[in-house]
Chains A and B, each alone.
Chain A
């Protein structure tokens, strides 16, 4: 059981570039979500999914897109990167509304 995996671990982008952060889980969890963590702040929910084909916005969705075509995968797309999107991104999955299991994170630097 790998749990929740995220790739890449670290990425540098130039302003305006696009990229996809990958997230996969092998626990057959229905719920998956993306968070960002900025210095001095708690994690903030970007988007989440309650099952394949169903996604919804969290607290800070602007500038990000998601899709959930399979139970296992939940990619996060940055359409046109901005310096304000420099952050650490965490993907999480869970079988209930409460306890979530997190991946190791992706550090993103936008220049």
Chain B
């Protein structure tokens, strides 16, 4: 049973527009959420995170929104750039527990 779900395997967005990547979770004990970005033949790199005490966190072009009642988080990238083309993973964690539970990833393609 997948505790973290990214239901869109891929997403195609025009350069300069907004990219919205979605993630749903089932475990209400999760209280920390992270987004990682992965290029082919490389390891994932940390992008942005959010604690369950917040509903929004921004870092430059990247904003993560958390809706605890819906058990849903989303990553917004504005404006989208060609270098943003990658696979994006969301991961969830229970505070004090090292283990991250990962979604299957969404491949983002930015079209010129």
Contacts and interface: CB of A to CB of B under 8 A. Distances in A.
Contacts of A99: 34, 46, 49
B45 interface: yes
A75 B100 CA distance: 20
Contacts of B105: 42
Interface stretch (B56-64, B72-80, B91-99): B91-99
B49 A44 contact: no
Interface residues of A, number: 24
B43 A102 contact: yes
Interface stretch (A14-22, A63-71, A90-98): A90-98
Given A31-B98, A58-B99, A97-B96, A42 B43 contact: no
B42 interface: yes
Contacts of B103: 42
Contact of A97 (B42, B98, B101): B98
Interface in B1-52: 4, 9, 32, 34, 41-46, 49
Nearest to B94: A97
A13 B41 CA distance: 20
A28 interface: no
Contacts of B42: 104-105
Given A4-B43, A92-B43, A42 B49 contact: no
Interface in A44-88: 44-45, 48, 50, 58-59
Given A92-B43, A99-B34, A99-B46, A40 B98 contact: no
Nearest to A96: B98
B43 A97 contact: no
28 contacts: A31-B98, A41-B104, A42-B4, A42-B89, A42-B91, A42-B101, A42-B104, A43-B44, A43-B102, A45-B99, A45-B100, A48-B99, A59-B99, A90-B43, A90-B44, A92-B43, A97-B96, A97-B97, A97-B98, A98-B49, A98-B93, A99-B49, A100-B46, A100-B100, A101-B45, A101-B46, A102-B43, A104-B41
